[in-house]
Amino acid sequence: MSIRVAVLGAAGRMGSTVCRAVEQAEGLDLVARLDAGDPIDAEHLRGAQVAVDFTVPDVTEANVHAAIDAGCDVVVGTTGWDEESYGRIRTHLEQPGARGRAVLIAPNFALSAVLAMSLAAKAARYFESAEVIELHHPGKVDAPSGTAVATAQRLAAARSEAGLGPVPDATQVDPDGARGAVIDGIHVHAVRLRGLTAHEEVVLGNPGEQLTIRTDSFDRESFMPGVVLAVREVGSRPGLTIGLDALLDL
């Protein structure tokens, strides 16, 4: 029996790639392509069991609530989530009408990026300094990337667990923000460049040495195995799952 899938943001860069991947995947059946202006309700979702959201940060949370209300499990790749919005999804999933429903939200579905984040978190405790540089296509609407935010949070958590203090930094004068965004104490730098797709470097430094962990998505194809895996698995994980790590046993 195939899993019926709806794609939200179906006309976008990721949504259109996801539509093709779902059409080609064994055991998945693409039943609805929704984009801006389309209501997200049972009628328009056309019997979908899983809705996949690759839209824009401003609307993704509302889409997920609507898809849950329409009886779907949801896989989300859109950025813009934080602890408060995760909390509202958890609360929604505890309501009687939504119990048993599942939502999986991942900042990055590419295997190389998921592994880079995991390796960086593992390495973080051994280095005095840590910074994140993310590099993307110039059509991206948000900065820093969701992946960079998640990476910085994981670096910070690993450092704190290991008892490390703040990263060394003598900067006192920086009127234009040249040191980048600071997320949980980790500096994050965003590059937007024609020709790029999605890339990230985590640089970790000690006296006399540096470890660089780099992930490159040259093509949106790189995200598809992770998205297809999430569509297949989400229904067996009721509640909210954040990140692909759990599905990969990392």
Ligand X SMILES: NC(=O)C1=CN([C@@H]2O[C@H](COP(=O)(O)OP(=O)(O)OC[C@H]3O[C@@H](n4cnc5c(N)ncnc54)[C@H](OP(=O)(O)O)[C@@H]3O)[C@@H](O)[C@H]2O)C=CC1
- Per-residue tokens: 174: 């920086």
Tell me, yes or no, if 136 is annotated catalytic.
yes
Nearer to ligand LZUJQKHR, 98 or 224 (CB): 224
Nearer to ligand X, 225 or 239 (CB): 225
Q: Beta partners for 198?
A: 136, 217
- Per-residue tokens: 115: 């592994």
Q: CB of 119: closest distance to ligand X in angstroms?
A: 18
**Pairing verdict, β 129-136 and 198-206:** antiparallel
DSSP designation for 179: T
195 is in an annotated binding site: no
Q: CB of 234: closest distance to ligand X in angstroms?
A: 14
| Cα angle 83-85-90, degrees, rounded to a multiple of 5 | 90
What three-state secondary structure class fits 242?
Answer: strand
Q: Note the residues at the interface with ligand X (CB under 6 A).
A: 8-9, 11-15, 34-36, 54-57, 59, 63, 77-79, 106-109, 146, 223
Beta carbons within 8 Å of 176's beta carbon, 6+ residues apart = none
Q: CB of 130: closest distance to ligand X in angstroms?
A: 22
Judging by beta carbons within 10 Å of its beta carbon (0-12, 13-18, 19+), is residue 236 exposed, middle or buried?
Answer: exposed
Site string for ligand LZUJQKHR, 130-159 (x = CB under 6 A): ------x---x----xxx------------
Nearer to ligand LZUJQKHR, 74 or 107 (CB): 107
Tell me, yes or no, if 122 is annotated catalytic.
no
Binding site for ligand LZUJQKHR (CB under 6 A): 79, 107-108, 136, 140, 145-147, 198
Annotated catalytic residues are 136, 140
